[in-house]
Amino acid sequence: SSGSFAACSQQSARSTHSIMLAITLASAAFVAPAMRAPLSSAVRMSTEPPAAPSVNGWTYSKSAFVGGLPGAISPLGEFDPLGFCAGKSLSEIKRFRESEIMHCRVAMLAVVGYLVGEGVAPLLGGSIISPSAVVGAANSHLGQQNLFAFTILTIAIGVGELYRALVGWVPPTESAFTIRENYYPGDIGFDPLGLKPKSAAEFKSMQERELSNGRLAMFAAAGFCGQEIVNGKGIIENIMASL
């Protein structure tokens, strides 16, 4: 009977051990999903894009028109009838504005170039304004320059564009067609006269004035070019004929 009692005790101990082991495993199986949830949340949080840095008082806002950039000016306001900027990323918005502001600046120089080139340069002959003497409509002035002057102009444009690319754009080996996060479109750091405003409100106002004049200049430059193609006469000559 003592042997039977010992055997029963051993069997009871084994049963108790088995029950405890089953309870432990069940508890671990129940807790495991709860432990994994924070890990997956952390992974999701790490994949969210970081907030865009504030540059010249502007911070990108996905919900704002054109990311919140200055330029929605009266009377047209938020003018984008074809939806070019709808749903675009920060880099795409900045790339579009970079293109616009560069064309604005080139157009403003072009308008001055048409008027000075036709009204002043022919009176001076070869000068700093025009290395070779020019005559006639401004559309033909570039073709009247000698090879040396044309080469210098080409190099100057290339150097300017290379500098702009190095300042504002991510190297193409890292990411193609991407503007740097801390770069404000058009602000390449060239301000020899110190005209750049210090406050965000003043900078926005100056940016809107530049855009307004630049957009008008793009229409004007296109009109000048088209008018000279139509009748072969210079803009100054056309203006004088209409008076």
pLDDT, greater one: 40 or 208:
208
pLDDT for res 3: 46
Mean model confidence pLDDT for the chain: 82
The answer, yes or no, to whether residue 10 has pLDDT greater than 70, is: no
pLDDT digits (tens, 9 = 90+) for 52-81: 788 999 999 988 999 999 999 988 899 999
The CA-based dihedral angle spanning residues 123, 125, 127, 130, taken in that order and rounded to the nearest 10 degrees:
90
pLDDT for res 33: 47
pLDDT digits (tens, 9 = 90+) for 178-226: 999 999 999 999 999 999 999 999 999 999 999 999 999 999 999 999 9
